[in-house]
Structure formats: C-alpha cells, structure tokens
Structure 1
C-alpha cells in the first residue's frame, strides 16, 4: 500500500510520470539540466549512479537512450523508480537496481556503458538535512566513490556527466584527472544574471584529449522572476519562450 507522502508527478519535456515521496529527495531543476546536458550516442547504454527515484534515468530514456540502468542503495526509492518504469511502459529499456555504487564491479564488467550520469550529494560538511539526508550529504558514498565507479564502468571515449556545487569544482577537476576522465564541456548555472553560479554541469571523456569547451552561462530566471528562454528550452517548453 502506498504511503500518504507518496505522489505521482510529471517529468518536464516528456509525457512520463514519476513516483516520488516527499520524505525522500524529490527531483529538482538540476536533474532536468543534467539529463539534457551530455552528448548521447546512438543506441547508448546509460548508467545513473545514485539514481534516487530515477528522474535523470527517465529523462535520458526520453531522449532516446537504448538502455538505461538506475542504481541506488535506498530500497524505497528503487521501488518507486520501478513503479515509474512500469507506469510508463519502459520495462524493455529502463531498469532500477538496488546496489551500493562502491560495489558495482561485482555486477558489471568494466567499460560497460557509453554514458554515466550522476547528481552526487552536494555536501560533505555543514548542517545536515533531516529529510533526504543521504541524497544531500555524503553518508553512503563520497564524491570520489562516484568518480571511481564511473571510471571503471564507462567505455573508453565514453562520457561521465555530473552536476555539483561551485565550491567543489576544484575537487571535481582533481578527481577527473586522477581517474583519467578528461573534462570536455562545462556550464555554470546562475539563478539570475547578476548572481553567482549555484551549480555547474560538467561532461568528461574517459581517455579524452585536452580541450575544455566552456558554454555560455545558463541563467534560470529573467529580471522579473519569470523563467528564462534557456530554462524553458531545457524543460522542453521552448514555444513559451517565443
């Protein structure tokens, strides 16, 4: 029986429904941005690390990925993701696996995926949230665990895409180089044009050559507080920006 805190929401930019629980971490704008950010090859096999209820996985399936696997260590969110997969009739191309991302070598061979995406916990210190604690704080896996898993599982010349806080940018760059993941594309995301960036999106290539493309900043809101054209495009609502 469903809990009173569970709800079925809509994913922007596609017709998919997603089951979530307000007592867990529900998807936000950063997941939508990350799902639209990386290059997706034809017949791509994709893995989402720390998938939660699977918003990024479902959005990547909507983009045309041939096979998507979402991995999380929380049984409840994995069950919710499986419910979403069934509700959208995606059983043939999307799956949710209950597993610790630090132990994925036991489940998958090295270089099994074309793209790996992750929205890792942002915080490794500071005040701890009471709701969705593990999703926001490094309790079950560190940022390095995500990089280590991605480096093992992504194909040579495959891609690893993440979203993170600006305060952890240097750490991400160091980990990328440590694990042979060459940063190739970067975008800073600002709430308003005159405000500091609050997150960044980065795509790395395993065994890639030097050469980083820095995209124009993604500005979420116009001066009047309405969504910017960029945000509406990410949300699949480009016609409203006209």
Structure 2
C-alpha cells in the first residue's frame, strides 16, 4: 500500500529489515521496542496454514507482523486503546497482510466475546510490566502509562485469558521482567500452563537480565523446563551485539 495518506499526525514508519516489514509508530501513543523483536524471535516456527494465533495487548501489531513469515495461519490482534488499534489496522494494510490479520479493539478481559475458548494454537503477549504506582497513575501521557503499567489489565488477567484461549497442548509466549518470574510461574501453573522454555536477556555482559522470555504449553506435562542460552543486547562498546544486529537487520 502507498505510504502517502496512511500516516496521521506525529506518526512515522519504521522498518524491521530482517523481516522486510514496516510498522506505523507514534511515540506519543506507542512504539514497539526491542522486546517485541525478541519475543518474535523466541517463537518456534510453525508453517501450518490452519494455525490460529492471538496477540494479546497487541499495541500497534508489531509482534504479530514480525511473525508473518515464521507462522502460518491467521492472526487476531487484540488492543484496548483505539488510537493504537487504528495504527495496527493501518500497519496491516501497509504490509498487504489483511487476508491473514484482523484487529479487535477491546479489553482483553472481553476477548471471548470475539474468540471461542479452547480454540487457539498460539497466544502471544507483551503485557504491561509494572504494577500500578502513584507515579504511574499521575503520568500525564495516559496511553504510555496504560502500555507500561498494569492500569487496564494485569498479569493474572493476561495469563487467565491466554490459558482460556489455548487449545490443549497449545503454546503461549510471554515477554516480561525477570524480577516477576516467581509470580509468573505460580500464576501459569494455577492456570494449566506448564512452563517449558525460558530465555533471559541482558542489556550488557556484566549486567543482570532485564527481560524474560517464556514459552508455556497448556496442560503440558510438568517438569522438563529448558533455560536456553542468554542473549546479550549491547557489548562493552555500547553497540548492538552481532546476534541482536542480525535480529534487527538480517544476515
């Protein structure tokens, strides 16, 4: 689709060269971060044409769009905020993917009004990471506050909805903060999601991990969790490491 006339005030188009896709961004509302690229990379390839995939807290649809070539089937992007859901819809048009992607503009708490329980093969989520604080409630940018803090949804709701949507043996993928790992694992196990694969992302070689990637299987057998090799984002020179360069720009 022509880029002319598709952008609104303060919007820009960013390209993920490694996947040959373009994403409409607006820093006042929402812009995808490296977290989205990392989660898409963590997802296992599956090219079955009948796959059904749901992206909860989808933002501008970046994670789903990044997976257009890695996963077969159809995607439903669920995003609460109207301005951001509108960006997702126009991003789908920009990449000519409207035959495979649809956007639902509603609270994920209402997702079963649109999608049947126990019907989805893969559920993705990059949720708000941070519990609500007095400071987050006072954030003058409400759109960004909702994207970052558990104002409109929370971890328990995200996990409950992920589990409810997934078929038995369906796969869920979550990006979150390592300091909440204990809580995440507990809530997953309370909701029939067996943790199967974990990756930690470190900002630099000598820094603690600040991003967690998790794969779960609905009603999966207990045990057998794999902690895969960590990924380092920046070297000592503050440049992206070769592994991250490849994720962003391709080989």
Query: Is TM > 0.5 for Structure 1 vs Structure 2?
Result: yes
Q: TM class by shorter-chain length?
A: over 0.9
Shift of residue 125, structure 1, vs aligned partner? 3.4
Instruction: Please tell me whether residue 162 in structure 1 is matched to residue 194 in structure 2.
Output: no
* Pairwise CA distance, 1:21: 1.4
Task: Indicate the residue corresponding to 2:29 in structure 1.
Answer: 24
**Quick check: 1:37 aligned with 2:42?**
yes
1:95 lines up with 2:108 in the alignment: no
Partner secondary structure for residue 75 of structure 2: strand
Write the mapping of 1:115-194 to structure 2, written as runs, cut at 5 A.
115-126=122-133, 127-128=135-136, 129-131=139-141, 132-194=144-206
CA contact (8 A) 2:16 2:249 kept: no
- Cα 1:88/1:150, change in 2 over 3 Å: same
1: CA distance between counterparts of 2:32 and 2:140? 17
SS at match of 1:110: coil
Q: Any idea what the Cα deviations from partners look like across 1:73-110, whole Å, max 9, x if unmatched? A: 11111111111111111010111111211111221111
RMSD of aligned alpha carbons: 1.5
CA displacement, residues 133-175 of structure 1 (integer Å, 9 cap, x when unaligned): 1000111111111100000101111111111111111110011
Could you tell me whether the CA contact under 8 Å between 2:15 and 2:21 is conserved in 1? yes
What is the total number of aligned residue pairs between the two structures?
238
Q: Which residue of 1 aligns with 2:63?
A: 56
CA contact (8 A) 1:11 1:55 kept: no
Unaligned runs of 5+ in 1: none
Gaps of at least 5 residues in structure 2 are none
Please tell me whether the aligned partners of residues 132 and 151 of structure 2 are also in contact (alpha carbons under 8 angstroms): no
In structure 1, the partner of 2:233 is 220
Distance across 1 between alignment mates of 2:207 and 2:54: 33
**TM-score normalized by the length of structure 2:** 0.90
- Do the aligned residues in 1 keep the contact of 2:57 with 2:108 (CA within 8 Å)? yes
Contact 1:50 1:118 in 2 (8 A): yes
Q: Could you state the TM-score of these two structures normalised by the residue count of structure 1?
A: 0.93
**Structure 1, 98-107 or 48-57: larger mean CA deviation:** 98-107
